[in-house]
Structure 1
Amino acid sequence: MSSSLQQVGLAVKRLQWRHHREANRRLAPLGLSLVQWDTLRHLHANPGASLHRLAELTFQTDQSMGELAKRMVDRGLIERVGGPGRKVQHQLTPTGDDLRRAGGEAVDAVLTESLGRLSPDERETLHDLLLKAAEPS
């Protein structure tokens, strides 16, 4: 019996929801939410990113990213630095980088409990299929 598109879509959503909920639970003792950790992760990979770029990378609106970044600056997790012209860029603070690494361990543990049950070949196939499905038409 083949799965319908709706069944596949629901399975993807259920796994995403499980990851999100459990990651938030495990990040909470670090004082982080999943979206905050994701921002730290993307800022590490994209030093000097603008708020707009961080919003794109973390699937947020520019406005919500602006509010989140302000709170993260106030907590000393990220800092604003001048860029070319009037551009404002962002970078991790040492505290933010420490929390990024600790949060990464927490998120890896969540993913290991689900995706870690797949063989390396199955994970590669799943990754390829998800990338293919996400391509624009």
Structure 2
Amino acid sequence: MAAELHLLGRAVKQTQYRQHRALDSRLAGVGTTLAQWDALRAISRSPGASARALAAATFQSEQAFGTLAGRLVTQGMVERRPGHGRRIEHHLTPLGEKTLKAGHQVAEEVLAECFAPLSEAERTTLLNLLRRLGDEAPDE
């Protein structure tokens, strides 16, 4: 049983690794990286969010997200604005919106390729199982 769990853990990690490599490679064609595109997605979902909230949403430390956000500001994709107290809010610029949209198109293609071997029913089952492991409630 323990060996099967190790194999399962490795298979999940291997699948994620292949997906991330494909995404990172193809996102370069639209001028971004997977980490940057993920940050743009998080900011788009929560305009005005703090670095702390965005770091949690992108599975990064606050320091790592701050460095990444700084690069996005330098590239003209993100704008930082003063918020309540010492809080700094993050917003997408028009260039950030354009890059995010281009990234969505790339991700749709890559993910379709990654999950092509699975039927629609298998993808639904996999999603439900992964959500259960991650304690996420399914979308209603």
How does the TM-score come out when normalised to structure 2?
Answer: 0.90
Alpha-carbon shift at residue 118 of structure 1 (Å)? 2.1
Task: Determine the structure 2 residue equivalent to 1:84.
Answer: 84
The CA distance in 1 between the partners of 2:110 and 2:9, in whole Å, is: 21
Counterpart of 2:95 in 1: which secondary structure? helix
Task: Determine the structure 2 residue equivalent to 1:11.
Answer: 11
How does the TM-score come out when normalised to structure 1?
Answer: 0.91
1:36-95 CA-to-partner distances (Å, cap 9, x unmatched) read: 000001111111111111111111111111111111001100001222233210010010
Q: What's the C-alpha RMSD, in Å, of the aligned pairs?
A: 1.5
State the percentage of identical aligned residues: 43
Alpha-carbon shift at residue 126 of structure 1 (Å)? 0.6
The CA distance in 2 between the partners of 1:8 and 1:70, in whole Å, is: 37
Task: Determine the structure 1 residue equivalent to 2:96.
Answer: 96
Matches within 5 A, 1:14-93: 14-93=14-93
Residue 123 in 1 paired to residue 123 in 2?
Answer: yes
The CA distance in 2 between the partners of 1:39 and 1:85, in whole Å, is: 23
Question: 54-63 vs 78-87, which deviates more?
Answer: 78-87
The CA distance in 1 between the partners of 2:115 and 2:25, in whole Å, is: 18
The CA distance in 1 between the partners of 2:62 and 2:128, in whole Å, is: 30
Q: Tell me the number of residue pairs that the alignment of Structure 1 and Structure 2 aligns.
A: 134
In the alignment, structure 1 segments of 5+ residues that lack a partner are none
Alpha-carbon shift at residue 135 of structure 1 (Å)? 2.9
The CA distance in 2 between the partners of 1:6 and 1:43, in whole Å, is: 35
